[in-house]
Amino acid sequence: MSNLYQVDYQSPIGVMEVVGTEEGILSVLFTERDEILEQPQSDTPQVLNDCLRELDEYFKGERMDFTVPYISEGTEFQGKVWSALTTVGYAETASYRDIAVKVGSEKAVRAVGNANSKNKLTIIVPCHRVIGTNGKLTGYAGTLTRKEWLLKHEQAMKNKLMSVEK
């Protein structure tokens, strides 16, 4: 296995820990820390620096999709769910049932929720865009407050972009 590297990113809603190798990002997760502990070093792989840049662009409203390579580690079903999550567009939402249908397991709504909760690539694989069938915000490993903030942020940035295009 390649060497693991960790850097922290200060987002507007908390410190995020980014872990990866020279080949790709393994995880982007919110921490409960108030300060950055791991700064990029001279030996930090380019992929981690690219991830920090892309996160920064996302939070500034300049990026809607991530291009940084990432490595997902999970079961075959989890992989299908995570892949389906990447099809939910910026500032859009899908229900857990929508994702279950997309992966060909219409009745597996709870399993989709479980796979969603195991996603280690917060924001890059946008699990925050999955909501309850009733339209309510449910479960998010990064806290519901952050989920709500992310959805509002994306909607505000999309609205801003649309008003500029008019």
Q: Which residues are the active-site residues?
A: 127
Q: With residue 5 as reference, give the H or E element that holds it.
A: strand 5-11
Distance CA 139, CA 147 (A): 9
* Encoded amino acid at 1, one letter: M
Distance CA 64, CA 91 (A): 9
Instruction: Return the number of other C-beta atoms located less than 10 Å from residue 40's C-beta.
Output: 15
Radius of gyration of the chain (CA): 16
Distance CA 72, CA 124 (A): 11
Phi and psi, residue 26, nearest 5°: -95, -35
